């Protein structure tokens, strides 16, 4: 992989600040298991972003949490043995401002500190813990920086499937029946937990409570499968949620915030069907690594009434959590046409084959224009008033 050039690591403040374009810091990588997907997403966004309007500063976060400056083509993002990309430490270190009167980003290389100039907005393309869960959003709030996507509270609640369901239940929004297994409970109160899970009726889905991209999820048909499923989920989170395996169609809907105080908007609903017999459900590999594994029907073949209810319920969910910018809401449409919320993703997959951008494309908003819309929404959010 190529190294960063001196011009990329040491831009002058004057040159950066004189740009008439909106300066966007595209942030990706991170410490979660979804690190490589974030890198793939960043490559897609950097190809699609409107360079006539936006000047881009690509910043990657290594698996250890170090922020590094990368080149515009991401040719210095490395590839591991499994062919998945990752951000490596390249000897640079990016520093955010933490003063309300300073929007200057700086980079350290060795003993030299250089200015990258102002940043108008951050586009965080980081999935999972330490990126989608409110922690990164809190850091950006401290730095008084505008950013794409929901704020601290909405991100934290949306990431935690347990509290997401609690908040939605408080707004009379139907959710999948569930049991929460707190850290340590499976080891110390196993019989009690099993009894609660049995009341859900099998099959059930065992999930890490605070992970995304279908990581750590198992479909369990009997009690005998719970030990392995819990062990797998615990690799990603000590807190686990177990959900009833509902009979019904899995429908997704993309939500986009409204401009200038207008209501949020919902795409046409889409339906994902796993087209390959290699996958028992829509797991990590089917979702991101095998574009032939799934088929998307959008608009989904639903009645007009059900379509409108799915779209409205997606918006209601977005608003109940206080989301901004974007989210994807996943629901089950049951045989009687009742609708139950499965989950919300506050930073949904954003590669070109991901469902969120594909649903908006079918609704009339292409990938590049969607990127522009999200940046424009972020530029409207207030700073220092959170």
List, as one string, the DSSP characters of 68-127: EE--TT-TTSEE-TTS-EE----SEEEE---STT--EEEEEETTEEEEEEE-SEEEE---
- pLDDT of 275 reads 64
Residue 9's pLDDT band (cuts 50, 70, 90): very low
Q: Are 57 and 26 in contact (CB under 8 A)?
A: yes
Choice between 153 and 278, residue whose per-residue pLDDT is larger = 153
161-187 burial, b at 16+ Cβ within 10 Å, e below that, comes to bbbbbebbeeeebebbebbbbeeebbe
- pLDDT of 34 reads 85
Taking 50 as the threshold, does the pLDDT of residue 62 lie above it? Answer: yes
- pLDDT of 81 reads 59
Full set of structural domains in the chain with CATH: 6-147 (3.40.50.20), 157-175+247-380 (3.30.470.20), 178-244 (3.30.1490.20)
The pLDDT tens digits of the residues spanning 226-280 come to 999 999 999 989 999 999 998 889 999 999 999 988 999 999 999 987 665 555 5
* 3-class DSSP state of 56: strand
Residue 353's pLDDT band (cuts 50, 70, 90): confident
Residue 114: how many CB atoms within 10 A of its CB?
A: 18
Taking 60 as the threshold, does the pLDDT of residue 281 lie above it? Answer: no
Percentage above 70 pLDDT, the chain: 87
- pLDDT of 272 reads 81
Interatomic CA distance for residues 253 and 41, integer angstroms: 19
Q: What is the pTM of this model?
A: 0.86
- pLDDT of 169 reads 97
Residue 17's pLDDT band (cuts 50, 70, 90): very low
Strand-by-strand arrangement of the 112-118 sheet:
92-95, 104-109, 112-118
Region 277-303: what's the mean pLDDT?
67
Region 134-152: what's the mean pLDDT?
94
Choice between 28 and 129, residue whose per-residue pLDDT is larger = 28
- pLDDT of 385 reads 60
- Give whichever of 10-19, 70-79, 203-212 has the largest mean pLDDT: 203-212
- pLDDT of 291 reads 59
- pLDDT of 207 reads 94
Residues present in the chain in total: 386
For residue 373 the two structure tokens come to: 């819309």
Residue 78's pLDDT band (cuts 50, 70, 90): low
Region 95-100: what's the mean pLDDT?
85
The pLDDT tens digits of the residues spanning 178-221 come to 999 999 999 999 999 999 999 998 999 999 998 765 789 999 99
Choice between 273 and 56, residue whose per-residue pLDDT is larger = 56
- pLDDT of 75 reads 67
Region 320-329: what's the mean pLDDT?
97
């Amino acid at each position: 992989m190529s190294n960063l050039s001196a011009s990329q690591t040491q831009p002058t403040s004057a040159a950066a600040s004189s740009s008439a374009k909106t300066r966007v810091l595209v942030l990706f990588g991170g410490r979660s298991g979804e690190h490589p997907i974030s890198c793939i997403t960043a490559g897609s966004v950097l190809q699609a972003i409107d360079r006539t309007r936006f000047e881009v500063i690509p910043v990657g976060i290594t698996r250890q949490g170090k922020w590094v400056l990368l080149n515009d083509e991401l040719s210095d993002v490395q590839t591991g043995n499994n062919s998945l990309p990752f951000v490596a430490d390249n000897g640079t270190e990016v520093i955010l401002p933490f003063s309300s009167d300073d929007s200057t980003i700086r980079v350290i290389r060795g003993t030299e500190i250089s200015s990258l100039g102002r940043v108008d907005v951050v586009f965080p393309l980081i999935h999972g813990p330490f990126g989608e869960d409110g922690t990164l959003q809190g850091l950006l709030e401290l730095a008084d920086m505008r950013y794409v996507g929901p704020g601290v509270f909405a991100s934290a609640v949306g990431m935690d499937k347990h509290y997401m369901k609690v908040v939605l239940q408080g707004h009379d929004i139907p959710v999948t029946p569930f049991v929460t297994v707190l850290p340590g409970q499976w080891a110390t109160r196993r019989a009690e937990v099993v009894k609660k899970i049995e009341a859900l009726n099998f099959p059930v889905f065992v999930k890490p409570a605070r992970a995304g991209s279908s990581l750590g999820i198992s479909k369990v048909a009997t009690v005998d499968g719970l030990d392995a499923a819990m062990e797998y989920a615990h690799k990603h989170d000590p807190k686990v949620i177990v959900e009833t395996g509902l009979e019904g169609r899995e429908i997704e809907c993309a939500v986009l915030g409204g401009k200038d105080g207008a209501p949020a908007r919902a795409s046409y609903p889409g339906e994902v069907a796993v087209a390959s017999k290699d996958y028992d459900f829509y797991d990590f590999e089917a979702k991101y690594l095998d574009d032939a594994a799934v088929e998307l029907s959008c608009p989904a073949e639903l009645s007009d009434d059900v379509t409108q209810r799915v779209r409205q319920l997606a918006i209601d969910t977005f608003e109940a959590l206080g989301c901004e910018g974007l989210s994807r809401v996943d629901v089950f449409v049951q045989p009687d046409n009742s609708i139950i919320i499965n989950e919300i993703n506050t930073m949904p997959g954003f590669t070109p084959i991901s469902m969120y951008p594909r649903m908006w494309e079918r609704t009339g908003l292409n990938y590049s224009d969607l990127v522009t819309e999200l940046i424009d929404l972020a530029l409207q959010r207030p700073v220092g008033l959170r």
